[in-house]
Structure formats: C-alpha cells, structure tokens
C-alpha cells in the first residue's frame, strides 16, 4: 500500500514537471482575476502598430476588443482589457507559461509551434511574395535566379527562399541577404542593393503603399509559401479555444469580420489588400454551423 502511494506520488510529481501545464482553465482564470490579458504586436502593420497619432491600433486589436466584449457577456461581469506588447520571440513562451491569456497578433500557424501552444481558427491568409522594381522587368519569380533577394531574419519567408534554393527552383541559386527588419529591406530594394524583397503579401502591400514612389514597384503574383495566421492560445484548454473559435465564426457570419477587414485592408484602408479567392473560400469553409 505504502509502495503504491509512493509510486503514484512520484508519478504525479513527474507528470507535473514534465508537462508543465495541465489543462489550464483560462476562462476561470480570467473570471477570477477580472483581467483579460492579451499579447499584441507593435510594428506589424496593420495587425498591431502605433499610428500617426501614436495610438496603438490594428486589425487584431479590433478583434481582441470583440473577444473582450464576448468574454464580459459570457462571464457576466466587467473585465479589464489589458494589452501587452509581444514580439516574435516572446509571444509563444508567454502564452505557454500562462502570463498571457492569448496573443492577438499575426503569427503563422505551424505544426512545430503546436508543441507548446494551441492556435485558433485561421483569421488571415497570406504567403511569401516578392516585391520588385518595375524598371528591372521581372515577370515571374524564376526570373530572379542568380540575383539578390532580401528577407527578414527568422521569418517564414527567409526559410522559403532557402528551401527554393535547395530544391533547385532558382537556377543559378539566388543570393539571400538577411535583414533585421522590413524597413531596411525596403531601403535596400530602393537603393538597388537587392533585386527583390520577400515577405508576406499583406506586409508587402503595406510597405508598397507607404513609400513615396509607390508606382515604381510591383508585387510578383506567385505565392511562394502559404501562411495562415491564427491567434495563439494556451495549450490543452479546449474550452477556451472553443470559445474563441465560436466568436471568430460569429464574426465571420454576421459581417463584423468583413467590416474590420474593409477598415484595415479595404481600398481606403491602411494596407489595401484585396481578399483572394482562396482566402474567401477559407473563411466560408471555417464558418461551421452555429
């Protein structure tokens, strides 16, 4: 009997230490603390950034406010809406260790990331594309073989270019120049240091729309990778994930989602990025019956 007890205690301890998080109850945590704490981006236009008036705004922040409203309704009490700025390096660990209830940013949903956290439904669809100067006369991505392409460090775009080099898609291989951020890439492209800059199509559209000589640039049509964005949620909390997904579906169906899409990505939005057919279909397919 004693042995059994000892054994099960050890097993318990081991479980606690190895899994770390055992089925966190995020909804209860939010209700108990009275705070809804979400991680947001700063500098990811237009998902989360500081605008000209220095206000922290964005598409994902608008959606986060909708989640906040829905949470207040569900829990039947007032909740503080707290945003904390995260970056690509901190966003996953901070949800994993329970400091944030979720991250409403612009993270690509990938399988390796599923090891440590969960993800919501896809709320945005984009992929790696190339921005080039019109005057250089490229019409397809392959035309850039042997040229210099820039990308941001650690991005899925950088990995995409590396993989295309490895697979022999570019022949001869392109020279990859890795920058710390998009503004540098844009400068390098303009000054002729690189021939193309690679990042997610939606971001390229934002970059292109912001420069003065916008008409000198074009985005090559082909999508070189597929980047579905989703919100980061705590691992093993199916209740909370269901709740967030349900809210997303309600927004897809009742038009709130499209309203925000128009606001940020419409023709008069911060980053004009017309919804592709694939994207539209994806939203439709994800709208599970309520």
Figure out which of the listed residues 4, 73, 167, 191 binds other proteins, where binding follows CB under 8 A: 191
Is 175 or 256 the residue whose CB approaches other proteins more closely?
A: 175
Minimum CB separation of residue 177 from other proteins in Å reads 5
Is 139 or 180 the residue whose CB approaches other proteins more closely?
A: 180
Minimum CB separation of residue 31 from other proteins in Å reads 21
Figure out which of the listed residues 30, 57, 61, 94 binds other proteins, where binding follows CB under 8 A: 94
173 sits near other proteins (criterion: CB under 8 A): no
172 sits near other proteins (criterion: CB under 8 A): no
260 sits near other proteins (criterion: CB under 8 A): no
Q: Which listed range, 144-152, 240-248, 250-258, 263-271, lies at the site for other proteins (CB under 8 A)? A: 144-152
Minimum CB separation of residue 98 from other proteins in Å reads 8
Asked whether 250 and 290 are in contact (CB, 8 A), the reply is yes
User: 3-class secondary structure for the chain?
Assistant: CHHHHHHHHHHHHHHHHHHCCCCCCHHHHHHHHCEEEEEECCCECCCEEECCCCCEECHHHHHHHHHHHHHHHHHCCCCEEEEEECCCCCHHHHHHCCCCCEEEEEEECCCHHHHCCEEEEEEEEECEEEEEEHHHCCCCHHHHCCCEEEEECCCHHHHHHHHHHHCCCCCCCCEEEEECCHHHHHHHHHCCCCCEEEEEHHHHHHHHHHCCCHHHEEECCCCCCCEEEEEEECCCCHHHHHHHHHHHHHHHHHCHHHHHHHHHHCCCCCCCCCCCHHHHHHHHHHCCCC
85 sits near other proteins (criterion: CB under 8 A): yes
Is 90 or 276 the residue whose CB approaches other proteins more closely?
A: 90
Minimum CB separation of residue 129 from other proteins in Å reads 18
Figure out which of the listed residues 75, 79, 98, 173 binds other proteins, where binding follows CB under 8 A: 98
Size of the site for other proteins (CB under 8 A): 46
Q: Which listed range, 197-205, 206-214, 219-227, 238-246, lies at the site for other proteins (CB under 8 A)? A: 206-214
List residues bridging with 197 in a β-sheet: 131, 150
List residues bridging with 146 in a β-sheet: none
In Å, how far are 117, 215, 241 from 121, measured between CA atoms?
13, 35, 9
Figure out which of the listed residues 99, 140, 238, 239 binds other proteins, where binding follows CB under 8 A: 99
Q: Which listed range, 165-173, 211-219, 228-236, 246-254, lies at the site for other proteins (CB under 8 A)? A: 211-219
CB atoms within 10 A of CB 154: 12
Asked whether 82 and 37 are in contact (CB, 8 A), the reply is yes
90 sits near other proteins (criterion: CB under 8 A): yes
Figure out which of the listed residues 153, 163, 171, 239 binds other proteins, where binding follows CB under 8 A: 153
**By the criterion CB under 8 A, which residues form the site for other proteins?**
20, 39, 42-43, 84-90, 92-94, 96-99, 116, 147-148, 150, 153-155, 159, 177-181, 183-184, 186-188, 190-194, 207, 210-213
């Amino acid at each position: 009997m004693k042995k059994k007890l000892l054994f099960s205690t050890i097993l318990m301890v081991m479980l606690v230490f190895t899994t770390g998080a055992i089925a966190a109850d995020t909804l209860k945590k939010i209700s108990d603390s009275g705070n809804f704490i979400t991680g947001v981006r700063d500098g990811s236009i237009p998902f989360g950034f500081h605008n000209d008036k220095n206000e922290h705004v964005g598409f994902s922040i608008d959606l986060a406010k909708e989640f906040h409203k829905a949470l207040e309704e569900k829990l039947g009490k007032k909740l503080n809406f707290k945003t904390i700025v995260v970056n690509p390096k901190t966003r996953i660990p901070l949800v994993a260790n329970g400091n944030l209830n979720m991250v409403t940013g612009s993270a690509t949903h990938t399988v390796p990331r599923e090891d440590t956290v969960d993800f919501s439904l896809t709320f945005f669809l984009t992929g790696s594309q190339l921005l080039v100067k019109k005057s250089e006369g490229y019409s397809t991505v392959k035309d850039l073989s042997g040229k210099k392409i820039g990308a941001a460090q650690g991005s899925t775009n950088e990995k995409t270019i590396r993989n295309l080099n490895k697979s022999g898609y570019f022949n001869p291989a392109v020279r990859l120049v890795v920058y710390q951020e998009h503004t540098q890439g844009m400068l390098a492209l303009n000054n002729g240091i690189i021939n193309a800059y690679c990042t997610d199509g939606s971001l390229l559209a934002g970059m292109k729309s912001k420069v003065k000589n916008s008409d000198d640039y074009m985005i090559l049509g082909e999508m070189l990778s597929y980047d579905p964005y989703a919100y980061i949620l705590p691992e093993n909390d199916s209740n909370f994930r269901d709740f967030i997904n349900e809210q997303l579906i309600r927004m897809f169906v009742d038009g709130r989602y499209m309203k925000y899409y128009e606001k940020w990505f419409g023709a008069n939005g911060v980053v004009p990025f017309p919804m592709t057919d694939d994207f539209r279909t994806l939203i439709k397919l994800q709208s599970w019956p309520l």
